[in-house]
Amino acid sequence: MRRVLVTGGAGRIGGLLTTRLAGDYAVRSFDVAPHQPAPGVEAIRGVIGDLDALVEACAGVDVVIHLAGIPAEAIWEDLVRVNLDGTRTVLEAARLAGVPKVVLASSIHASGFQPPSTTPLPASSAPRPDTYYGWTKAAMESLGSLYSDRYGLTVFAVRIGAFQETPWSEVDVPIWLSPDDCVRLMRALVDTPVTGFRVVWGVSNNSTGWLELDAEVGYAPTDDSATVAHLAAPSDVAAHAHLGGVFCAVPLGKPLW
């Protein structure tokens, strides 16, 4: 049974994964918040910048899924401290503990200024961040590439789309990631024999989508936003001009919440 550490295990995606992966994997959850995960999941409370705590949490682990971070635009210093310095700490802890594989939660917003494409856009396309937040995600990807090339870690950077039960707005429809497909994607990345560094789009099999899905890693999404698109709220026309939607217009460094 593979052993998986999930950082940010008390968050929206982390809570889903620790619950759904438990039973098929030995799951350990690491989060700054006190939390009680699903039965059978080991909970560790700690700060993402604490290298010693993370090395200990990584002991005996086969895969780290790194989800901890600030999930939207925020103050520059906070974003760098948590999203960038925190990711470096996780990668360093994985290296020191001998963990062979790390899955990094990047974001669609690492490529937010990408305009719509008439052909499937590969995840290997160059980053075009839309915010300071998106820039930290692009920088995370670069760190993952560095640790893969330097130390031989397998690192997957997942540019997560609109992770929602159903798309909140029309602009989310092409980039929707259903909870079930999110679990399918993470299972695929945990189990795949593919090695090295790779960027992967984290979206469902959306009829109106234009992001290239990565079948080589074993990801086979089954959900399509077309079945729930009627539930999405209308979006401003300008929001459809780029992949990042409204993030392309928010003031840099201004917290969204």
Question: Which of the residues are catalytic?
Answer: 133
CB neighbour list of residue 141: distance below 8 Å, 6 or more residues apart = 104, 106, 110, 127, 157, 199
The distance between the two most distant Cα atoms of the chain, rounded to a whole number of Å, is 50
DSSP run (H or E) holding 45: strand 42-45
CB neighbour list of residue 228: distance below 8 Å, 6 or more residues apart = 166, 167, 176
| Strand-strand pairing, 63-66 and 42-45 | unpaired
Burial of 80 (0-12, 13-18, 19+ CB in 10 A): middle
Whether residue 132 contacts residue 149, with contact meaning beta carbons closer than 8 Å, is answered with no
- Reading phi first (left if > 0) and then psi (alpha if -120 to 50, else beta), residue 253 is in left
Cα(197)–Cα(237) distance, integer angstroms: 36
Angle 110-178-190 from CA coordinates, rounded to 5°: 75
Structure-block tokens of residue 62: 């086969």
- Placement of tokens 């856009």 in the chain: 121
Structure-block tokens of residue 243: 């992949």
